Amino acid sequence: MKDEMIRGTAFGDQIRFFAAYTKDTVEEARQIHDLSPLCTAALGRLLTAGLMMGAMGKDESDIITLKIDGDGPVKSLTVTADPNGNVKGMVYNNHVELPLRDDGHLDVGRGIGSGMLSVIRDMGMKEPYVGQTLLHSGEIAEDLTYYFAESEQIPTSVALGVLIDRDRSVKTSGGFIIQVMPFASDETLSLIEKRLASFSSVTQELEQGKSMEDIMNELLDDVSVEDRMPVRYYCNCSIERVTKALISLGNKELQAMIDDGEPVRLHCDFCEKDYEFTIEELKKLIES
């Protein structure tokens, strides 16, 4: 199975849903950032959510950023996604390890602790839209469910799961967002509630060889998939963008760097790439 996202409607338009399978995307993030299993699970869940929430954007240029700031050892997580299935992310402390929870799961909630979830939608206007909500459990899916209820007033069910293999690689990963439209009937609501209550977990279902589409068909009636797109971990940094950022600092700042007499190294936190500029190259930036 290749990483992909589907979106569509169910119960004759009373429900809209997003579902993503993200094994390779999360494994890529793990390798880039050398993440511990707990951090892989935490960032993997947020990456999966970011992809689906990015797809809610209306325009090609809409960018969504999800940020979690907590008082746990992980400290913070940031994920940025576009509407076309590209996502990138970072973890402040990438090596956090904690004892497993009593149910054998990684303790993401304790790793993150209490704090704030921020959702920043940049729609190319002057001021981005920022929605914030207090973390409820730090388990991410639950926090996003509260976010949708509180900030966007949309009854939503969010499920996210990342399963780590014995060799610390990603065994499986995925998630879904199910949203209830205002005109949905009580029958539909109670039926979905009942099915969600008896739903095991995304990773358990994926482990049984099911696809995210199979899972949607189990939970919802009259599923109609309207869009299907590949998803991937992708960082859009480049030497051109980094050069632009340097120039935007202004000549005074650049001259100070030249006077320091050392090459300047800029680091991208999303893909861990380094960009180095020699004194000669810095001088050229001033001339340009």
Residue 122 or residue 142: which is nearer to Zn ion going by CB? 122
Binding map of Zn ion across residues 230-249, x = CB under 5 A, - = no contact:
-----x-x------------
Rounded least distance, CB 233 to Zn ion, Å:
11
Q: Partners of 163 in the beta sheet?
A: 172
Instruction: Compute the distance between CA of residue 62 and CA of residue 123 in angstroms, rounded to an integer.
Output: 5
Residue 78 · residue 84 · CB < 8 Å: no
Does position 268 interact with Zn ion (CB under 5 A)? The reply is: yes
* Eight-class DSSP state of 103: T
Alpha carbon distance, N-terminus to C-terminus of the chain = 49
Among the candidate windows 24-32, 144-152, 159-167, 266-274, which touches Zn ion by CB under 5 A? 266-274
Size of the site for Zn ion (CB under 5 A): 5
Among the candidate windows 27-35, 71-79, 127-135, 229-237, which touches Zn ion by CB under 5 A? 229-237
Q: Which of 56, 225, 247, 271 binds Zn ion (CB under 5 A)?
A: 271
Residue 185 or residue 236: which is nearer to Zn ion going by CB? 236
Does position 11 interact with Zn ion (CB under 5 A)? The reply is: no
Instruction: Compute the distance between CA of residue 58 and CA of residue 83 in angstroms, rounded to an integer.
Output: 8
Tell me how many degrees the CA angle 44-47-50 measures, rounded to the nearest 5: 150
Among the candidate windows 70-78, 154-162, 228-236, 246-254, which touches Zn ion by CB under 5 A? 228-236
Residue 149 or residue 245: which is nearer to Zn ion going by CB? 245
Residue 17 or residue 277: which is nearer to Zn ion going by CB? 277
Does position 266 interact with Zn ion (CB under 5 A)? The reply is: no
3-state secondary structure at position 164: strand
Does position 160 interact with Zn ion (CB under 5 A)? The reply is: no
Residue 24 or residue 272: which is nearer to Zn ion going by CB? 272
- Calculate helix-pair angle for 23-33, 37-54, nearest 10 degrees: 130
Rounded least distance, CB 111 to Zn ion, Å:
24
Among the candidate windows 96-104, 156-164, 227-235, 243-251, which touches Zn ion by CB under 5 A? 227-235
Among the candidate windows 91-99, 226-234, 245-253, 270-278, which touches Zn ion by CB under 5 A? 270-278
Residue 225 or residue 271: which is nearer to Zn ion going by CB? 271
Residue 98 · residue 50 · CB < 8 Å: no
Alpha helices in the chain (DSSP H): 23-33, 37-54, 108-112, 141-150, 186-197, 202-207, 212-219, 239-247, 251-260, 279-287
Angstrom CA distances, 45 to 39, 78, 104, 147, stand at 10, 11, 17, 15
Residue 64 · residue 86 · CB < 8 Å: no
Q: Footprint of Zn ion on this chain (CB under 5 A)?
A: 235, 237, 268, 270-271
